[in-house]
Chains A and B, each alone.
Chain A
């Protein structure tokens, strides 16, 4: 039975119809709302490519039931910056050219944003620890850490 759900994504109220309330949030964001920030990487909560914020916490949207996100603020990479200015992390990733293919970068930025929201000046080790569950196959790690540090210094 299809039901309606109220989502609040990137500051906008969105109403979607779902056949399965257990459907992961990722599919609602990508297929119903047409967002391109969160990516499908594993569907197993193992890689972090799908990371979004739900009520300010970084979650793996590939395993997060869409029904549990109802009426909570959801932020994706597209909604990370407010107004015209890019989020410091986005600026820093551009400045450090911290991208190879960039498929993982959504997760890197969203996970790091959650870290920086709590710790304004994390050490290298703290950054690496916070991103330990985010996989990158291109080997962009060295630059990603530099970019997060740069963003922290800006913020």
Chain B
């Protein structure tokens, strides 16, 4: 082992000087990333998606990754089915920029719906090609061939295996959009609750999460974060850090400061021992006046996303007008395992192991930040702790890449809990104003909504924290398609739904599960409940009356049965200290896909203000179901996580920084408060599959609010529904 004391100065391209001081250099042993094989990653090539070896084993290359949702298994089911090979024969490689096609970010509930269908079509193309090859080889007509378990047989018993036909060779074929796919009636793998392939290793402790990944000779780093988000690093003194056994280096670039050590604990201690002087910064709004701030933020433009008839005129002539203002707090992703990444920079090439949901995009961002070409960067996905949108994974990758490039050694960066809660991008604060007019018969004559949301730049990037702190090149932040589901599924004669794009938002925004769709649906489905009550009509019946979509109506029918919904014409608040209520909510996701209807059963304690969600009934139609049990797992997760967000979650902050930096200050739902989830899956094998990772979450906040109204007769219009807000609403009456 080399044990010399060296120090040097580096100047990175870009602004500012980078200071690196080494203490003891670690072992020179260095890990090799497996060199990328000569493989296309083109999305229009069969070889982009699949390879079959001589033994007939199939490797599926998926640009969409498993974020803990089980899609690794579901995608393998789709591939095995369409290729007619046993499920066990399919292995999945995910999110490796050198190996997997760029299928876009794993987001938006699109992995099965979009990514899975690309896989299906690639496999269908491969299958047709294999039949063609077999027909030639066997000297038999194509339609006389039978395919089973990766073998193609002619009448009379002559057969050839996929391994013999293509083993180890490329297809060299474009994905054919017209290649015939199998008839769902013949499915034996799709539609079955195939057990997830990752679960055994996860319950015996042998699964390698991103956080478990190690390279030989790897160093450990911790970033020293400024106490105020945009403070400048004035100076630092790392004399004490240098005394810690195992200390290796301090890395500074602009306001980016990190301690590097040989062991993780040494890195934590070294980071804690660095005395840094930061400038003051207090640019955040007053948290107590957040909604005034949002309303007063400069608007870039108003954009109308749904327009029917003339709401202005209809508002004036309505017999009764109603209006309501809803707000939805800033949320953090809160992965249980803080973000982590490992990076290695060798011979001008950067390799990053990351739990990023967007390795192809991250690759471009890292290249830009470090002045490399994308070809010089390889990002390899390793499953991390569950992620529900763009959280801190990419930022940890950027931290690791920046440090690794400076030190020339593999570096692991593990974020602390405070890093995760304090520095992941946030679900932005969302304010919605709704207005409606009812005619004299209680029909909705006009509906208007206005949502205040941060503007979207063109790209999908969310700025990397390391690039911000270090002053290296970066892109602007994209908050997600948060205007979606503002438009409503109900056929009112006059409708106008408007997004007011704002020039700024207090925290760097990104998408968190059901981004925008949750907030917009919350307000829409609460407001329609308010209209139903004003009209004196049962809320489920009121929705039904205003829906024309037969598939939506069928779903509401199934929900009515599942929940044994009994119509009520008006809320008669229950007596007693603990009141029970039930509320309904409905969505057709983004008006173009998955249908979900829910009924929530809640109790409200009038004395303490505490809401307990006892049960959720969920009717769910996402078309063709790939794996029913996996789907149920997702729906349960959607409900439980969103009950937590609705009842408890709210980012706390001072004028300088996030102050809810742990689970005590940002509590989430725990076991005693978890509701039962009762699910009715509507399977439509002959329809295309739609997403299920988000839609069920969209309807949760409104169903709870509507149930609370049913229980105690007050409307909750501000998420989270904390006991204080419930008590205040009860007092107001």
* Chain A contacts to B: CB under 8 angstroms: 2, 19-20, 23-24, 27, 30-31, 34-44, 46-47, 49, 76-78, 80-81, 86, 89-90, 93-94, 97, 99-106, 109, 125, 127-129, 131-145
**Minimum Cβ distance to chain B for residue A46 (Å):** 4
* Interface presence of B269 (CB below 8 A): yes
Flag if B204 contacts A136 (CB, 8 Å). no
Flag if B203 contacts A102 (CB, 8 Å). yes
Flag if A132 contacts B670 (CB, 8 Å). yes
Given A103-B385, A136-B336, A137-B335, are A97 and B670 also a contact pair (CB < 8 Å)? no
Flag if B204 contacts A78 (CB, 8 Å). yes
Instruction: Chain B residues near A101: list those with CB within 8 A.
Output: 67-68, 336, 383-387
Instruction: Chain B residues near A89: list those with CB within 8 A.
Output: 203
Given A31-B264, A35-B205, are A99 and B199 also a contact pair (CB < 8 Å)? yes
Flag if A41 contacts B417 (CB, 8 Å). yes
**Minimum Cβ distance to chain A for residue B16 (Å):** 31
Interface members, chain B 348-406 (any A CB < 8 Å)? 383-388
Interface members, chain B 416-456 (any A CB < 8 Å)? 416-417
Given A36-B207, A39-B337, A102-B207, are A31 and B263 also a contact pair (CB < 8 Å)? yes
- Whole-angstrom CA separation of A152 from B68 in the bound complex: 26
Flag if A134 contacts B671 (CB, 8 Å). yes
Flag if B671 contacts A105 (CB, 8 Å). no
Given A44-B662, A139-B638, are A97 and B199 also a contact pair (CB < 8 Å)? yes
Closest to A131 in B: B671
Chain B window 253-279, contacts with chain A (Cβ cutoff 8 Å), 1 for yes, 0 for no = 000000000011110010000000000
- Whole-angstrom CA separation of A23 from B69 in the bound complex: 34
Between-chain CB contacts (< 8 Å), 8 pairs: A20-B245, A39-B211, A102-B199, A104-B336, A138-B641, A139-B636, A140-B640, A144-B671
Rank and list the top 9 A-B pairs by shortest CB-CB distance, nearest first. Answer: A101-B68, A37-B205, A139-B640, A101-B386, A77-B205, A102-B202, A139-B637, A103-B385, A19-B245
**Minimum Cβ distance to chain B for residue A148 (Å):** 10
Closest to A86 in B: B204
Instruction: Chain B residues near A105: list those with CB within 8 A.
Output: 202-203
Given A43-B416, A99-B203, A109-B203, are A137 and B633 also a contact pair (CB < 8 Å)? no
* Interface presence of B168 (CB below 8 A): no
- Whole-angstrom CA separation of A102 from B338 in the bound complex: 14
- Whole-angstrom CA separation of A77 from B326 in the bound complex: 45
- Whole-angstrom CA separation of A33 from B669 in the bound complex: 33
Instruction: Chain A residues near B538: list those with CB within 8 A.
Output: none
Flag if B639 contacts A129 (CB, 8 Å). no
**Minimum Cβ distance to chain B for residue A47 (Å):** 6
Which of B200, B337, B663 sits near A44, CB closer than 8 Å?
B663
- Whole-angstrom CA separation of A19 from B195 in the bound complex: 44
Instruction: Chain B residues near A145: list those with CB within 8 A.
Output: 671, 674
Instruction: Chain B residues near A144: list those with CB within 8 A.
Output: 671
Interface members, chain B 626-679 (any A CB < 8 Å)? 629-630, 633-634, 636-641, 644, 662-664, 668-672, 674, 676-677
Which of B338, B386, B662, B676 sits near A138, CB closer than 8 Å?
B386
Which of A35, A38, A47, A97 sits near B336, CB closer than 8 Å?
A47
Closest to B69 in A: A100
Closest to A19 in B: B245
Closest to B641 in A: A139
Instruction: Chain B residues near A39: list those with CB within 8 A.
Output: 209, 211, 336-337, 385
Closest to B199 in A: A99
Given A76-B205, A100-B69, A142-B676, are A49 and B637 also a contact pair (CB < 8 Å)? no
Instruction: Chain B residues near A134: list those with CB within 8 A.
Output: 670-671
Which of A2, A36, A49 sits near B337, CB closer than 8 Å?
A49
- Whole-angstrom CA separation of A99 from B388 in the bound complex: 15
Instruction: Chain B residues near A47: list those with CB within 8 A.
Output: 336, 663
- Whole-angstrom CA separation of A42 from B335 in the bound complex: 10
Flag if B674 contacts A90 (CB, 8 Å). no
* Interface presence of B208 (CB below 8 A): yes
Additional pairs, 5, CB under 8 Å, beyond known A49-B337, A77-B205, A135-B336: A39-B336, A40-B211, A97-B633, A102-B203, A134-B670
Closest to A125 in B: B672
Flag if A100 contacts B269 (CB, 8 Å). no
* Interface presence of B212 (CB below 8 A): yes
Instruction: Chain A residues near B638: list those with CB within 8 A.
Output: 139
Which of B68, B205, B334 sits near A36, CB closer than 8 Å?
B205
- Whole-angstrom CA separation of A106 from B246 in the bound complex: 29
Instruction: Chain B residues near A36: list those with CB within 8 A.
Output: 205-209, 212
Closest to A134 in B: B671
Instruction: Chain B residues near A131: list those with CB within 8 A.
Output: 670-671
Flag if A135 contacts B196 (CB, 8 Å). no
Instruction: Chain A residues near B240: list those with CB within 8 A.
Output: none
- Whole-angstrom CA separation of A143 from B14 in the bound complex: 51
Which of B200, B205, B264, B385 sits near A94, CB closer than 8 Å?
B200
Flag if B338 contacts A40 (CB, 8 Å). yes
- Whole-angstrom CA separation of A36 from B607 in the bound complex: 46
* Interface presence of B524 (CB below 8 A): no
> Quick one: which of B68, B387, B414 has the most chain A CB within 10 A?
B68
**Minimum Cβ distance to chain B for residue A28 (Å):** 9
Instruction: Chain A residues near B516: list those with CB within 8 A.
Output: none
Flag if B203 contacts A143 (CB, 8 Å). no
**Minimum Cβ distance to chain B for residue A49 (Å):** 6
* Interface presence of B95 (CB below 8 A): no
Flag if B265 contacts A31 (CB, 8 Å). yes
Instruction: Chain B residues near A127: list those with CB within 8 A.
Output: 671
Instruction: Chain B residues near A139: list those with CB within 8 A.
Output: 636-641, 644, 674
Flag if A94 contacts B195 (CB, 8 Å). yes
Given A78-B204, A97-B633, A99-B203, are A20 and B269 also a contact pair (CB < 8 Å)? yes
Flag if B386 contacts A103 (CB, 8 Å). yes
- Whole-angstrom CA separation of A131 from B69 in the bound complex: 22
**Minimum Cβ distance to chain B for residue A97 (Å):** 6
Given A40-B211, A94-B199, are A135 and B337 also a contact pair (CB < 8 Å)? no
Flag if A138 contacts B206 (CB, 8 Å). no
